[in-house]
Amino acid sequence: MAPDDPADPGMYDPGLSYTTVAQTNLSRLDAEAGELYVGGYPIEELAANASYEEAVSLLFEGRVPTADELQSFCDELADLRTIPGPVRELLRAVADSTDPMDALRMGLAAADLHTDPTTAAKRVAAVVPTIVATHWRLGRDEPVVEPDADLGHVANYLWMLTGERPTSERVDALETCCVTLLEHGLDASSFAARTAASTNADPISAATAAVGTIKGDRHAGRFADAFALLESARGADDIQRVLRDRTNDGLVPGFGHPVYQTRDPRAAVLSATLEQTAPETAAETIETIDRLDEAAQDVFEPEAEGQEQRPEVTVEFPATAVLDSLALPPALFAPTVAVARAGGWAAHILEEYSEPTLVRPSAAYVGEIKSDWTAVEDRYTAGDRLIARPPQSASLEPLTQTLDVLSEPNRLELLLALYDSQEPLAYSDLLAASTIDDKGQLNYHLRTLRGPFVADTDAGYRLTDTGERLIDAVLENDRLLDDDLSDDK
Amino acid sequence: MAPDDPADPGMYDPGLSYTTVAQTNLSRLDAEAGELYVGGYPIEELAANASYEEAVSLLFEGRVPTADELQSFCDELADLRTIPGPVRELLRAVADSTDPMDALRMGLAAADLHTDPTTAAKRVAAVVPTIVATHWRLGRDEPVVEPDADLGHVANYLWMLTGERPTSERVDALETCCVTLLEHGLDASSFAARTAASTNADPISAATAAVGTIKGDRHAGRFADAFALLESARGADDIQRVLRDRTNDGLVPGFGHPVYQTRDPRAAVLSATLEQTAPETAAETIETIDRLDEAAQDVFEPEAEGQEQRPEVTVEFPATAVLDSLALPPALFAPTVAVARAGGWAAHILEEYSEPTLVRPSAAYVGEIKSDWTAVEDRYTAGDRLIARPPQSASLEPLTQTLDVLSEPNRLELLLALYDSQEPLAYSDLLAASTIDDKGQLNYHLRTLRGPFVADTDAGYRLTDTGERLIDAVLENDRLLDDDLSDDK
């Protein structure tokens, strides 16, 4: 579908929401139907059945593993969990000053193993939980818990976070959560990973790009905000008001996934999980989400012209409710999304390597073209403008002879008004722009100025080149302005 | 120019070469004319006149600074050069095992200051040279050289690398090089930075994404390769052969910038610099580049259908020749490109913040849709295929009664050939696929199989469902295969 002519300027699509940039075997998002298939399976089926390792293996291999293959894959991931001593020392040094997502970026960036791409991609999935948990415990002055190769990926994450053997119920719930969030097409983070991989950069570099992208508060950084909104909506009488208070530039956490035109299909999956993890409060939470949804239909304007849809509920409310029910604090929401998504990043990186296409979009230049370089010692500012020091030529010699013209404040005022205007000014504009309110006065001053300083053209009054250069010179020398216009000296 | 209908699937543009994703005040690339404007100025003029700090300030502010503003900007950058102790310790720990670009990713990822975005963006430009130089010296067991606030940005980089006060000639040449490479629109690295910034991630995270992207050997990682090609071409008799030896998947370092349809305009700027830094060899180097260019016209096929242009010389040959003439080793070429580009990344990040548009492209799913989840204990592989354990139903009971049919190796061979084929096979195909070379034999076996196991359709022979399930079962049990087909047991 690319234009036939390479010189064609192509599409202007700043968010790339109209652009397909890859073919993928990893997932399919149906924006209109609100359906998600990961590794070919409906997300409902995958989340209900697959362990995290099984789902990651599915993405890596294009099919579910056999029992033997799964065991090997689990063993390999478990072997890749440990972080090197210097990385742990770095995490220790920044434990008190650094938030978890920054620590994850630091730790992952430093986790390079210099192995082959597939192992490095597995390393990404394996090491992210260790970095998050290590930094978390260091920041709370708790002893670091080493990864335990006897535990599965998700169980081990909970173990490293808490230092306690997690119940199978907790593991199952978090596993469902992680599989649900594992892969979601080209969200900004996965796309950043593929962009890096498209240059043939290594998987650790590409995944670090993804971590640096997902942390933003328009991405996984929103999860904690969504939870805060959910909490403040719980039991609130005026839920529309709660929503309005949270609306900022039309963006509200918990609403408006950039792809789905319906409710995010992952929301239902995790609402069902919530009924397992918080049986006593789940119904109320789900009702609160529905009330938020209802209120949103009144509060939100359609996002943009041409869009009929109002923002719909995303996965963020139920996902954060599940994480909260598992006693994960909001500071760990975004890192846990990264833990879940790391396997998806790894799969995207390997998929990009299989058929790399260097990503190289264009930007439309909207600035000026200049060609009058002025050496720094010849540059001065006048108000907000930068001007070059005028050439020291004869053209400025009349300056002294014309000082008396300028010594009349009204005349200087007129010249400055013309100088500030980008376009010629009509007589009425000049009258309005100056403090002169007598037309006779204005006519007199204009007559004095016209010729050398001001031109009277069909389009209106404008400064002559000499007039412009004169004002340049005047503005450069605040002294002149002070002498003539200011009283406080 | 975006389609009016949001449901429109839009463009398929994997490299985004037809897509404009931003409006920018930073630079303008004219692909056809082969012109580059940075901050509004022709690159020739900017590179010849601006210091690095001056050019970065131009990008940040949209205009060149006055002398006072420039001094403040230089002071601010100089204040932001130092790397924290823990980061230095990390660089020390990995000094021997890590290449310079990986070290830069690690160091930059850990350089967070938690300050306001503009300061953090300046921090990016300021700290990259320090990380590169610190790691470089640690890797060579040389004492780390602290940044010197009395030196300009580029002079200080040379100082930290070498521990010697650089001559003004070396500084000028490297400064020209850095200004020339400072900003180049949405190369993959700057685009990765903007993608991260579009989620409102911080400048250190976004610039780390850029570092992780630029290191690839289709990006700045190519510079050292280009230099190696230039060196092997120098004085070579058969320069076409030298080029052919370096052609890999149609990609040759030094050629084929993804944007320009002409010679990269930066090449001329740096060829002129080379005449300053290597007056005795510059002419020969430039002649070698021209000979490479000439040879390329014969060696290269046009890159893609519809493209008339053959790949043209990029900035890589002259840039690396300049860096070499300044005694920078090839291992420092990519890091020095990052040093140069860091100011551009910082400016892109700030520009993205000024009007953020979350980047969210699509991927087209090309895999299968499945809905038959099989528990892991019921999965088996047959050759390359994964199959579910067949249901323990009546449909398999005939297996024992049909073992005598299968005990004939030729018949099993025919069934396997049909099983492996995605499509029905013609009689002649079956004859060719089996070791049977007697048509009477083939007819006999086919008669035996036809009906329950093989169907004879208009399109050819194919397995019946029962036949397919039977072979599934057979393949699952290697034992059966061993018994029937293998002799070594």
Tell me what pLDDT residue A430 has. Answer: 85
**Interface contact flag, A199 B209, Cβ < 8 Å:** no
Tell me what pLDDT residue B2 has. Answer: 36
**Residue A76 within a domain:** yes
Tell me what pLDDT residue A308 has. Answer: 55
Answer yes or no: do B347 and B443 share one domain: no
In chain B, residues with a C-beta closer than 8 Å to the C-beta of A377 are 67
Partner residue facing A212 (CB), from B205, B367, B368: B205
pLDDT tier at A327 (50, 70, 90 boundaries)?
A: very high
Q: Residue A146 pLDDT more than 80?
A: yes
Answer yes or no: do A342 and A388 share one domain: no
**Interface contact flag, A13 B2, Cβ < 8 Å:** yes
Answer yes or no: do A274 and A396 share one domain: no
**Interface contact flag, B86 A98, Cβ < 8 Å:** no
Answer yes or no: do B284 and B428 share one domain: no
Best mean pLDDT range from A49-53, A256-260, A407-411, B407-411: A49-53
Which range has the worst mean pLDDT, A398-402, A438-442, B11-15, B292-296? A398-402
**Is B394 near chain A, with CB under 8 Å?**
no
**Is B384 near chain A, with CB under 8 Å?**
no
Answer yes or no: do A323 and A435 share one domain: no
Partner residue facing B90 (CB), from A6, A90, A192: A90
**Is B152 near chain A, with CB under 8 Å?**
no
**Residue B238 within a domain:** yes
**Is A13 near chain B, with CB under 8 Å?**
yes
In chain B, residues with a C-beta closer than 8 Å to the C-beta of A209 are 192, 196, 208-209, 212-213
For residue B436, the distance in angstroms to the closest alpha carbon of chain A comes to 35
Q: Please, is A15 exposed, middle or buried when counting C-beta atoms within 10 Å of its C-beta (0-12, 13-18, 19+)? A: middle
Q: Residue A154 pLDDT more than 70?
A: yes
In chain B, residues with a C-beta closer than 8 Å to the C-beta of A8 are 18
Answer yes or no: do B116 and B160 share one domain: yes
Which range has the worst mean pLDDT, A147-156, A295-304, B151-160? A295-304
What's the CATH number where A428 sits? Answer: 1.10.10
Model confidence pLDDT, tens digit, residues B297-328: 888 765 554 455 678 899 999 999 999 999 99
For residue A6, the distance in angstroms to the closest alpha carbon of chain B comes to 7
CA-angle at A484, arms to A479 and A486, nearest 5° = 80
**Is B3 near chain A, with CB under 8 Å?**
yes
Q: Please, is A32 exposed, middle or buried when counting C-beta atoms within 10 Å of its C-beta (0-12, 13-18, 19+)? A: exposed
**Interface contact flag, A362 B3, Cβ < 8 Å:** no
Answer yes or no: do B272 and B421 share one domain: no
pTM of the predicted structure, to 2 decimals:
0.80
Cβ atoms of residues B195 and B359 within 8 Å: yes
Catalytic residues of B: 257, 316
Query: Alpha-carbon distance B270 to B318, whole Å?
Result: 6
Model confidence pLDDT, tens digit, residues B344-382: 999 999 999 999 899 999 999 999 998 778 899 888 776
**Closest chain A residue to B70, measured at CA:** A376
Which of B20, B92, B309 is most worth mutating to test chain A (most A CB atoms within 10 A of its CB)? B20
**Is A362 near chain B, with CB under 8 Å?**
yes
Comparing CA positions, the residue from B153, B95, B52 lying closest to residue B331 is: B95
Residues 6+ apart with CB under 8 A from B147: B78, B81, B82, B130, B156, B159, B160
Structurally, chain A folds into a number of domains equal to 2
Q: Residue B27 pLDDT more than 80?
A: yes
Tell me what pLDDT residue B485 has. Answer: 45
Tell me what pLDDT residue B309 has. Answer: 62
Answer yes or no: do B332 and B406 share one domain: no
Answer yes or no: do A336 and A430 share one domain: no
**Residue A373 within a domain:** no
With pLDDT > 70 as the criterion, what percentage of chain B qualifies? 87
Partner residue facing A358 (CB), from B11, B21, B218: B218
**Closest chain B residue to A110, measured at CA:** B106
Partner residue facing B192 (CB), from A40, A42, A209: A209
**Which candidate in A257, A312, A351, A352 is catalytic?**
A257
The DSSP secondary structure of B126-163, one letter per residue, reads HHHHHHHHHHHHHHTT-PPPPP-TTS-HHHHHHHHHHS
Tell me what pLDDT residue B395 has. Answer: 41
**Is B302 near chain A, with CB under 8 Å?**
no
**Is A206 near chain B, with CB under 8 Å?**
yes
For residue B20, the distance in angstroms to the closest alpha carbon of chain A comes to 4
Residues 6+ apart with CB under 8 A from A172: A276
Tell me what pLDDT residue B388 has. Answer: 64
Query: Alpha-carbon distance B376 to B19, whole Å?
Result: 44
More confident residue, A308 or A368: A368
Count of other CB atoms within 10 angstroms of residue A47? 25
- Please, where are the H alpha helices in B43-187? 43-49, 52-61, 67-79, 85-93, 100-109, 117-139, 153-162, 168-181
**Interface contact flag, B15 A359, Cβ < 8 Å:** yes
With pLDDT > 90 as the criterion, what percentage of chain B qualifies? 62
Q: Residue A484 pLDDT more than 50?
A: no
Token pair belonging to A230: 């959910």
**Residue B444 within a domain:** yes
**Residue B16 within a domain:** no
Phi, psi for A386 (deg, rounded to 5): -100, 135
Token pair belonging to A148: 């335990």
Partner residue facing B360 (CB), from A62, A67, A187: A187
pLDDT tier at A398 (50, 70, 90 boundaries)?
A: very low
More confident residue, A109 or A8: A109
For residue B439, the distance in angstroms to the closest alpha carbon of chain A comes to 39
Tell me which H or E stretch contains B380.
Answer: strand B379-382
Which of B370, B385, B477 is most worth mutating to test chain A (most A CB atoms within 10 A of its CB)? B370
Answer yes or no: do B285 and B392 share one domain: no
**Residue A136 within a domain:** yes
**Interface contact flag, B368 A40, Cβ < 8 Å:** yes
Model confidence pLDDT, tens digit, residues B425-459: 888 888 887 788 788 888 888 887 877 788 888 78
Which of A35, A52, A105 is most worth mutating to test chain B (most B CB atoms within 10 A of its CB)? A105
For residue A9, the distance in angstroms to the closest alpha carbon of chain B comes to 6
For residue A29, the distance in angstroms to the closest alpha carbon of chain B comes to 8
Q: What is the interface pTM, i.e. ipTM, of the complex?
A: 0.80
Sign of CA dihedral A112, A140, A212, B131: negative
**Residue A303 within a domain:** no
Count of other CB atoms within 10 angstroms of residue B131? 29
Domain hosting residue B172, numbered range: 27-248+265-290+317-353
**Residue B230 within a domain:** yes
Answer yes or no: do A349 and A384 share one domain: no
Cβ atoms of residues A211 and A101 within 8 Å: yes
**Closest chain B residue to A17, measured at CA:** B361
Which of B376, B381, B386 is most worth mutating to test chain A (most A CB atoms within 10 A of its CB)? B376
What's the CATH number where B85 sits? Answer: 1.10.580.10
Model confidence pLDDT, tens digit, residues B35-89: 999 999 999 999 999 999 999 999 999 999 999 999 999 999 999 999 999 999 9
More confident residue, B60 or A217: B60
Q: Residue B463 pLDDT more than 90?
A: no
With pLDDT > 90 as the criterion, what percentage of chain A qualifies? 62
Tell me what pLDDT residue A248 has. Answer: 64
**Is A11 near chain B, with CB under 8 Å?**
yes
Answer yes or no: do B225 and B272 share one domain: yes
